[in-house]
Amino acid sequence: MKKKPELIKLRWLSAAVLLSMYASNCWAFGIDDVAKEAKEMAGKSYEAPKSNLPSQFRDMKYADYQQIQFNHDKAYWGKLKTPFKLEFYHQGMYFDTPVKINEVVASTVREIKYSPDYFNFGNVKHDADTVKNLGFAGFKVLYPINSKKKEDEIASFLGASYFRVIGAGQVYGISARGLAIDTALPSGEEFPRFKEFWIRRPKPQDKHLIIYALLDSPRATGAYRFDLTPGKDTTVDVQSKIYLRARVGKLGIAPLTSMFLFGPNQPSPVPNYRPAIHDSDGLSIHAGNGEWIWRPLNNPKHLAISDFSVENPKGFGLLQRARNFDQYQDLDDRYDLRPSAWIEPKGDWGKGHIELVEIPTSDETNDNIVAFWTPDNQPAPGKEMDFNYLLRFTRNEEQLHPGKLAWVKDTLRSTGDVKQSNLVRQPDGSIAFVIDFVGGAMSKLPDETAVTPQVSIGQNGELVENRVRYNPVTKGWRLILRVRVKDNTQPTEMRAILMNGDKPLTETWSYQLPANE
C-alpha cells in the first residue's frame, strides 16, 4: 500500500520537531558560547571595569590582604563526590574589581554568588554592610595530587589574565597568562583581564577539570577553554579565540612570566648564602626547523629584549633546569621545586618570533622575565585568531629532549684569567664562561671522541679562548670560553654548539652578556 504524501510529510515534521527538542535539551556549554560574546564585545567600545571596593580594602597592604582567608570547610563542591574542589579569593588591594564565576552543570549555567560568609577576615577591620555586595577576585582549584588524604591547591586564577599551576611535588613559581599586549613598548603595556569564568562541575570519576574564560581589554577580547589535568606533570590543554578591537603594537601569544634575580651565569653582586634565586634559569626553544636553542636568563641593568625568529614553533618555555637543593640552599622558598612551563603549539602558527623580555629587578618579589610568541602579521580587527596549545608544568626537563641532542646543564661565569709560569692565575680583563653539555647520544660517546666547538661572537666581543674537554663527572663535554668585551655599555651576543665532524651533538647555546653600565 502506498503511503500518502501528506502522511510522509507529517511524520517528517514530527521527527524534525523531536530532533529539535532533543538537541535543545542536550545543549552543552562550550567555547563557542564564550567566543560569541567575545566577538560581540570586540565590535563595541571598551567599557573599563569599575572598582566597588571600600577604602579599607583598596588601601590595605599585602600582609593585611593575606589575613583574608577562605573558610576551607566551605569549599565549593565540598559535599560532592568529586576529587576537585574550588575556593575563592576575596577582593582587596589592586584586585579591586570583581570577576563573575559561573558553574556549568549539564545544560544549566548558574552564577556562584559571593558571600562574606565564605571568608575569615582575621584582624582586618571592616563594616559588614560594606562587604556584603562585593565579589570574588579569582579562584583556586584543589585536588589530592600528593596524597589521597589531602587536598592540595594545584591552580590559581588571580589578577588580569594570570594563572599558576603545579604538579605533584611542586610549589608555585612561574605564571602563565591568557594574552600579553605591548609588553616592554615605550607606550606602556596593556593587561587584558579575565572578566568572567565558567567552570564545569566534574563528575566523580573525572580526572580533569574544564574552565572557560572571557577576556577583555581596551584593544582585544578573547574566549578561552582550559582543560586542566593534574598529575606528576600537570597539563593545561588551551584553546583560545582572540579578537582585536584595534591594532596593537605587539601581540603576545601564550605568554609566560617568571623571575630571575641571580645565578651561576650572573652571580649575586653582594654576598649571599644562596648560590641562586630564580623561578626559571633559561628560555628553551624547539624551532620549526628542528633546531633546539637554550638561552640562559639574566637580570640586566637595563631593559633587554631578545628576538628569535621562529616559523611554526614546535615548542618553547621557561625552564628551571637547576634541580638540586644545594644549588639554592633556600628552605623557605624551595626554588628547586618550582616547575618549568613548556608550551607545545597545536597546528601551524605561521611566521613570527619568540620574544624574551628581561627587566631589571633588585629583589625576588618582582616577576622580571616574560616570554611569548608573536605573529609577524596581525589580522584585521574583529577577525578571529585561533591559537591552541598544550601547557605542561614539570620538574622533569629531560623528557622535553627525547632526541639525540645533548642539552646545557650549567652555564657558569667568572673572571677570565691566564695561568702564569709559576702556576698563579692572573686576570687578563676577559670574562670566562664554562658550559656543560649533557645527555642525548653524547653521553654514550667514548671520552676520546673528537668533539669540536663552533662558536660565534657578536661585533662587541672578541673570542680569546675556545676549547672543549670531556667531563667524567657528568659524562658529557665542557666548553670553556674567554671573551673580551669591547664596549661595556653594550650587550654582547654569543652562540655555541658542539659538533662531531659535520654532525651536531648539542642544542645551540645562545647567550647575551648584558651591558655592565
What does the pLDDT read at residue 143? 97
From start to end of 364-475, where are the E strands?
369-375, 385-394, 407-419, 425-438, 452-457, 461-471
Euclidean distance between CA atoms 467 and 453, whole angstroms: 7
The three-point CA angle 439-441-444 to 5° equals 90
Q: What backbone phi and psi angles, to 5 degrees, belong to 419?
A: -80, 120
Dihedral in degrees, nearest 10, Cα atoms 371, 187, 249, 302: -30
Per-domain boundaries in the chain: 31-400, 407-513
Please name the amino acid found at residue 450: A
Concatenated DSSP letters for 273-292? Answer: S-S-EES--EEEEE-TTS-E
Q: Where are the beta strands (DSSP E) in 72-200?
A: 85-90, 100-105, 108-111, 119-120, 136-147, 150-158, 162-165, 175-177, 179-181, 193-200
8 Å CB contact between 460 and 487: yes
- State the DSSP string of 192-249: -EEEEEEEEPPPTT---EEEEEEEEETTEEEEEEEEEE-SSSEEEEEEEEEEESS--S
- Give pLDDT, residue 486: 96
Can you tell me the distance from the alpha carbon of 451 to that of 441, in angstroms, rounded to the nearest whole number?
13
Grid coordinates standing for 181?
A: 599586549
* Alpha-carbon gap, residue 349 to 55, rounded angstroms: 45
Residue among 311, 364, 321, 367 at smallest CA distance from 342 = 321
Of 364, 411, 368, the residue nearest 265 (C-alpha): 411
Report the predicted TM-score, pTM, of the whole model to 2 decimal places: 0.92
pLDDT per residue, tens digit, the chain (517 aa), is: 455 555 444 444 444 444 444 444 556 899 999 999 999 999 999 999 998 898 888 889 989 999 999 999 999 999 999 999 999 999 999 999 999 999 999 889 999 999 999 999 998 888 778 888 899 999 999 999 999 889 999 999 999 999 999 999 999 999 999 999 999 999 999 999 999 999 999 999 999 999 999 999 999 999 999 999 999 999 999 999 999 999 999 999 999 999 999 999 999 999 999 999 999 999 999 999 999 999 999 999 999 999 999 999 999 999 999 999 999 999 999 999 999 999 999 999 999 999 999 999 999 999 999 999 999 998 899 999 999 999 999 999 999 887 889 999 999 999 998 888 888 888 899 999 999 999 999 989 999 999 999 999 999 999 999 999 999 999 999 999 999 999 999 999 999 999 999 999 999 999 999 998 6
Instruction: Give the Å distances, CA to CA, from 162 to 165, 179, 286.
Output: 10, 9, 24
Q: d(Cα 372, Cα 377) in Å, to the nearest integer?
A: 15
As a whole number of angstroms, the distance between CA 400 and CA 60 comes to: 43
Q: What is the CATH number of domain 407-513?
A: 2.60.40.10
Which pLDDT value is given to residue 395?
97
> Cα angle at 319 between 314 and 322, to 5 degrees?
140
Q: Is the Cα torsion angle 502, 505, 507, 513 positive or negative in sign?
A: negative
CA dist 297 and 302 (Å) reads 14
According to DSSP, the residues that pair with 345 across neighbouring strands are 389
Contact 296, 273 (CB under 8 A): no
For residue 389, the number of C-alpha atoms closer than 13 Å in the C-beta half-sphere is 24
3-state secondary structure of 459: coil
For residue 320, give the DSSP letter.
Answer: -
**407-513: same fold as 31-400?**
no
Rounded Cα distance, 3 and 290, in Å: 65
- Give CA angle at 423 (419, 425), nearest 5°: 40
Longest dimension (CA), the chain: 115
Reply yes or no on domain 31-400 having CATH 3.40.1180.10.
Answer: no
CA-CA distance, 367 to 382, in Å (whole number)?
32
d(CA 236, CA 465): 45
pLDDT attached to residue 517: 62
The Cα–Cα gap between 275 and 213 comes to 40
pLDDT of residue 6: 53
pLDDT at residue number 422 = 82
CA-nearest of 502, 234, 284 to 401 is 284
> Cα 318–320–324 angle (5° rounding)?
180
- Which residues on adjacent β-strands are paired with residue 319? 282
User: In whole angstroms, what is the distance from residue 402 CA to residue 93 CA?
Assistant: 45
Cell numbers for 455: 662558536
- The CA-based angle 74-80-85, given to 5 degrees, is 55
Tell me the three state secondary structure of residue 126.
Answer: coil
Rounded Cα–Cα distance for residues 199 and 227 (Å) = 10
